[in-house]
Amino acid sequence: MPTTHRPRKGSMGFSPRKRARSEVPRISSWPADDGAPQLQGFAGYKAGMTQVIMVDDAANAPTEGMEVAVPVTVLETPPMHAIAVRGYRDTPYGMMPVTEAWAEELDAELDRAMPTPTDPADAGDAAGLEAAVEAGEIDEIRMLTHTRPAGMQNIPKRKPDVMETRVGGGSIAER
């Protein structure tokens, strides 16, 4: 039997068409930052959409200089809380964690998302992280943070989202 010709249905840019494994995206590359040390990401939830009236400033547009209605997305950014700092070494197999230091006091709501270290020996300490930085074993610093969704009105969830955010800017010792 001959095979029937069927054109592709839809863009391959949205492939594979299945449910995402996690709502929290995995960021594979971070921008280079030369300023002061700071976190390079934060969480935001889509709270809704609305429209704004703005003056169209696009050159050669039919509505240039006129007021037009533009759809916009409203984001709600929850409070974030730092729970750990992690140091990574760049190896031929990718970034590998060297050491980490956990915060002494963790939120009770964090237990909904992940098991937290209860033994202080398992949590690591800041002195070990600083010693690894001075020895030159660490190439990148990242911070484990989680959201505090209890304070948001428009997002009906209580389980916090845990994410790892790169600390960019300055030297490794400054970070």
Give the tens place of pLDDT for each residue, 54-94. Answer: 999 999 999 999 999 999 999 988 899 999 999 999 999 99
For the chain, give the mean pLDDT: 86
**Segment 36-47 mean pLDDT:** 88
Q: Which residue has the tokens 């209890």?
A: 150
* Its pTM surpasses 0.85: no
pLDDT score at 60: 92
pLDDT score at 170: 80
- Residue 131 belongs to what H/E stretch? helix 126-134
Give the tens place of pLDDT for each residue, 93-127. Answer: 999 999 888 888 888 888 888 888 777 666 777 78
Domains and CATH numbers, the chain: 41-77 (no CATH), 78-175 (3.30.1430.10)
Angle (CA) 170-174-175 rounded to 5° is 80
Cα separation, 162 vs 39, in Å, equals: 15
pLDDT score at 131: 84
pLDDT score at 111: 85
* pLDDT for 49 beyond 90: yes
